[in-house]
Amino acid sequence: MSNSAALHDADPSAQPGCGTDACPIPGTPPRVRLIAIGDEILSGRRQDKHFSRLIELLQERGMRLQAAEFISDDEDDIVECLRRSFATPDLVFCCGGIGATPDDRTRQAAARALGVSLALHPEAERLIGERCAETAAKGQGSADMSTPENQQRLQMGVFPAGSEIIPNSYNKIPGFFISNHSFMPGFPVMAHAMMAWTLDTRYARWHHAESRIEHSFLVFGLPESRITPALESLELRWAGIRAFSLPNVGDAGGHPHIELGVKGAPEAAAEALAWLRAEVLSLGGRLDPPA
């Protein structure tokens, strides 16, 4: 993507891939999703590091992750996934498969999913050329972009037509952005900085746009089945507040307990939390572990 990326920090309904019926209500933060691509993750040869880091980056900016999907390197699988994804107004981070080896098929799949051609992006061509010149100056490779090796490297700048670049501060080899989807390498050292840049450059308007808070407390001596009706009643009493229940059987040596909580708008969440605590006590639950 070029530095015109900031142009997309505007109304998402004006951006590619956001049809009238699919767009969020004006002023409502869009859903954010992650798509991690790579056989090496599904086989266990590599451990995914994007999921937890994206959550952290979003939370630092008052945003949240709504969904994540892990898919193989199979081009048809990627095409099918992206066709579904491009049909939404969601903000999507796609990691993996944008290199130039035979198992890197994300660029090609994105073009197929959008029904557009692939083309060498001029800004990507310039940046890749700069990278080759820098490494050549260190005695590695050649600055001559006509060599077979450098021609192969230029394939990493071949993106779906209409793409913009995402700068890569690690080695200058850019990712690309199109239709609210940000495509970046699978390498965490590159991808995570590119995620942060995208959030701060393209999506700053959504930082802290949603006022949400999460409260929880531990409950002892109360079966989940007994508190469930209260959780259901809570969500009816406070519209927009979500209740949650996370049982723990005490497998780490502690006492069995339930972590109960609420999440949503701060004032309503605080009211709902106080009500839930009172319900727990009235049902015979304890807020402290047994002696």
Which tokens go with 28?
């409502």
What is the rounded CA–CA span in Å between residue 279 and residue 104?
54
What is the model's pLDDT at position 19?
A: 36
Could you please report the per-residue DSSP string of 48-85?
Answer: --HHHHHHHHHHHTT----EEEEE-S-HHHHHHHHHHH
What is the rounded CA–CA span in Å between residue 63 and residue 168?
23
Other residues' Cβ atoms within 10 Å of the Cβ of residue 284: 10
Contact 85, 52 (CB under 8 A): no
Contact 96, 175 (CB under 8 A): no
Contact 48, 41 (CB under 8 A): yes
Q: Three-class SS string for 106-172?
A: HHHHHHHHHCCCEEECHHHHHHHHHHHHHHHHCCCCCCCCCCHHHHHHHHHHEEECCCEEECCCCCC
Which tokens go with 160?
């779906």
H or E element: which one contains 125?
helix 122-137
Query: Which CATH code, of 3.40.980.10, 1.20.1630.10, 3.40.50.1820, 3.40.30.10, is assigned to 3-206?
Result: 3.40.980.10
Each residue's pLDDT expressed in tens, for the chain with a length of 291 residues: 333 333 333 343 344 334 333 445 456 889 999 999 999 999 999 999 999 999 999 999 999 999 999 999 999 999 999 999 999 999 999 999 999 999 999 999 999 999 999 999 999 999 999 999 999 999 999 999 999 999 999 999 999 999 999 999 999 999 999 999 999 999 999 999 999 999 999 999 999 888 888 999 999 999 999 999 999 999 999 999 999 999 998 877 788 999 999 999 999 999 999 999 999 999 999 999 887
What is the model's pLDDT at position 21?
A: 36
| Phi, psi dihedral angles at 147 (to 5 degrees) | -70, 150
What is the rounded CA–CA span in Å between residue 186 and residue 95?
5
Place of tokens 């021609």: 151
Contact 277, 260 (CB under 8 A): no
Closest C-alpha to 248, from 257, 240, 239: 257
C-alpha distances out from residue 190 to 74, 154, 163, 194, Å: 23, 18, 19, 6
Task: Look at phi and psi of residue 112 and say left if phi exceeds 0, alpha if psi is from -120 to 50, else beta.
Answer: alpha
Which CATH superfamily includes the segment(s) 213-282? EIF_2_alpha (3.30.70.1130)
What is the model's pLDDT at position 15?
A: 41
Which tokens go with 232?
């259901």
Contact 155, 106 (CB under 8 A): no
What is the model's pLDDT at position 10?
A: 37
What is the model's pLDDT at position 14?
A: 40
Contact 188, 50 (CB under 8 A): yes
- The domain ranges of the chain are 3-206, 213-282
What is the rounded CA–CA span in Å between residue 38 and residue 232?
39
